[in-house]
């Protein structure tokens, strides 16, 4: 009986610890998104182009997923479909 209580207590502690860790990650991601937005707004206010991280686009192209790469590019830059397609094609040509 005591063994079951001990094991149960350990399982509960582990679950709570895991849950707390996930919550902390969510909070950090939210803070990072807010900072990223602020930096983009400051760059826009200064008349500069916000930097775009194309790492995910390169990864999608390396995996042979050009449609996903176009979608990622559109989400990252806010451009229309044709512009994104042309840009991803250019990135793909530069990679080879």
- Together in a domain, 69 and 86: yes
Residue 3 pLDDT grade (very low, low, confident, very high; cuts 50, 70, 90): confident
Residue 50, pLDDT score: 62
Instruction: Give the domain range for residue 88.
Output: 52-96
**Same structural domain for residues 59 and 44?**
no
| 22 three-class SS | helix
pLDDT surpassing 70 at residue 67: yes
Residues 24-65 pLDDT 10s: 998 998 888 888 778 877 877 887 766 678 889 999 999 999
Close Cβ partners of 60 (under 8 Å, ≥ 6 residues apart): 66, 68, 69, 72
Count the domains in the chain.
2
Q: Which of 33, 48, 63 is the last residue of a domain?
A: 48
Q: Are residues 35 and 73 in the same domain?
A: no
Q: How far apart are CA 75 and CA 58, in angstroms?
A: 14
Do the Cβ atoms of 69 and 61 come closer than 8 Å?
A: yes
Same domain? For 37 and 77 the reply is no
| Domain co-membership, 78 together with 62 | yes
Query: Is there a single domain that holds both residue 5 and residue 41?
Result: yes
């Amino acid at each position: 009986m005591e063994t079951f209580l001990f094991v149960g207590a350990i399982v509960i502690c582990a679950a709570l610890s895991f849950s707390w860790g996930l919550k902390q990650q969510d909070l950090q991601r939210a803070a990072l998104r807010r900072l990223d937005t602020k930096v983009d707004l400051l760059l826009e206010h200064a008349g500069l182009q916000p930097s775009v991280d194309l790492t995910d686009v390169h990864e999608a192209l390396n995996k042979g997923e050009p449609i996903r790469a176009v979608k990622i590019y559109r989400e990252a830059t806010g451009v229309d479909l044709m512009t994104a397609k042309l840009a991803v094609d250019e990135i793909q040509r530069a990679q080879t």
